[in-house]
Structure 1
Amino acid sequence: MKAPAAKKTSTAPKAPPANPRDLTRSEIAYRRLKAAIFDFVLLPGDGFTESDMAERLGMSRTPVREALFRLELEGYVKVAFRSGWSVAPFDFRKLEELYDLRVMLECAAVDRLCTQDPMPDLGLLKAIWLVPEKERKTDTTEVASLDEAFHTTLVSAAGNLQMARVHAEVTDGIRIVRRLDFTQPPRVAATYDEHAKILRAILARRADPAKLMLRTHIEASKAEVRKITIHKLHSARPATTDL
């Protein structure tokens, strides 16, 4: 009689827990702090101690410290000996380089989309962006999220997993300034118009016009990065600063 085969142990990374109750305290602190930075509750240059932040988050210092060290590795906060922590200033050179990389990745994705037969289904994007003006979303926060999804969906649909992985990293790196861009209501209408033109060109397999419009669209967003001022950041801070 044969012995039962040994059970294989999977080495694949586990998916993030779906239930918030399954998250560690450190992960919760990390997500709340990062959201506070991205939502301009915490602005570049804002200083704080671990004790202060633990009190604001309603948890002990240990998970807060672990979250802060993780955010430090990602470049969002800085630690200073004996003087606590502070939100890191924007690295404008890094941001511009990320935008340049984004242009290359998304233009390459357009080339792939326009040559695939059949073309991947872009119906979800059509349902969002090719709508009558009266059906457009107006909430700037919602449109900012939809804008990000438009670009990530194009790259994902191109079918290159490594390209999509790198693009996701780039997207995360520029998310904070993209949200700042969408604090200006005129950007909502412009984004709808530009996305619709890009999408129609892709659906018609007109790669060169689509890439030109895409590049212009991204360059306009990149140009806004150069206009970021302390006043603009403080204007974006919400009325409530709860974490």
Structure 2
Amino acid sequence: MHSHARAVAARTHAAVHAHRSRADDVYDQLKRDVAEFRLVPGDRLTEHEVSERLGVSRTPVRQALYRLQQEGFVEVLFRSGWRVLPFDFDRFEQLYDLRMVLETTAVQRICAGDSRVDQALLEQLAAIWLVPAAARSGDAAQVAAWDEAFHCALVAAAGNAEMARVHREVTERIRIIRRLDFTKQPRIAATYDEHARILKAVQRRRGDQAVLLLRAHIETSQAEVRKITLHQVHLARAGAG
């Protein structure tokens, strides 16, 4: 009897885990669709359409959409499915402010020689960003991904896991804005130049200089957020297609 109960419990656990995994997969895919402009503000979708497209049942789709609703990506429409929400620029501004605090604090700790600093992470960043101009990538999607990784690694290198976790959450929420920024080719070259200057200041333990450079770098990106129009988003979708 006990062994039968354990077997049932194990099967139930496995079913719940598989179910949760499918919901997680749908959630991740829909967030990618938003970040890569396959879904843009104002687009409507139904649970049936998403389940057909992704080849899953409607239950994990519904779970994923409710999770995205809680995070401010979509809203439910009465009897007519779901809609991707317009950009909340006030929220983006607040997230950029939080990002500024986390990243400048991390850089200060790194430059102060905190014993928890992960030097290997900093060396990995140097291998990507401190390269000759001829070795730079011109692939906007690749550089956008590396840009995210650069800022996440800077915070992670400071050795505070909770700071790194909060920073990753902020990064996810502003991803679409940063991807839009990288649809403009001059931003790629500027990102290489700015990241290189920040890294060199960090390597030399020049904390004040590193913070000033990082602050200017983030403020430039934040200023671009204020210029974004829905027209740009639709152009980006056309380009992604």
List runs of 5+ in structure 2 lacking aligned partners: 1-16
Aligned residue in 2 for 1:207? 207
Q: Say if 2:48 and 2:58, in contact at 8 Å, map to a contact too.
A: yes
Please say if residues 41 and 238 of structure 1, whose CA atoms lie closer than 8 Å, have aligned partners that are also in contact. no
Normalization by structure 1: what TM-score? 0.86
Match for residue 65 of structure 2?
Answer: 68
Q: Report if aligned partners of 1:110, 1:210 keep a CA contact under 8 Å in 2.
A: yes
Normalized per residue, the structure richer in helix is 2
- Secondary structure of the residue aligned to 1:24 is helix
Describe how 1:42-121 pairs up with structure 2 within 5 A: 42-116=39-113, 120-121=118-119
SS at match of 1:86: strand
Distance (whole Å) between structure 1 residues aligned to residue 57 and residue 202 of structure 2: 51
Name the CA distance, whole Å, in 1 between partners of 2:237 and 2:105. Answer: 36
Partner of 2:37: 40
Query: What is the TM-score of this pair, normalised by structure 2?
Result: 0.87
Runs of 4+ in structure 1 over 4 Å off: 238-241
CA deviation profile, 1:127-176 (whole Å, cap 9, x unmatched): 00100000011100000010111111111111112211111111111111
Corresponding residue of 1:29 = 26
Higher mean C-alpha displacement, 79-88 vs 53-62? 53-62
Q: Does 1:181 align with 2:178?
A: no
- The separation in 1 between residues aligned to 2:205 and 2:22, in whole angstroms, is 48
The alpha-carbon deviation at position 64 of structure 1 amounts to: 1.2
SS at match of 2:174: helix
The amino acid of 2:232's aligned partner reads: K
SS in 2 for 1:79: strand
How far apart in 1 are the matches of 2:235 and 2:215? 29
Identity %: 57
- The answer as to 2:147 corresponding to 1:155 is no
Aligned length, in residue pairs: 222
Given that 1:120 and 1:158 are in contact with CA atoms closer than 8 Å, whether structure 2 keeps it comes out as yes
* Cα distance change on mapping 1:240 and 1:138 into 2, 3 Å: closer
* Cα distance in structure 1, aligned partners of 2:217 and 2:114: 27
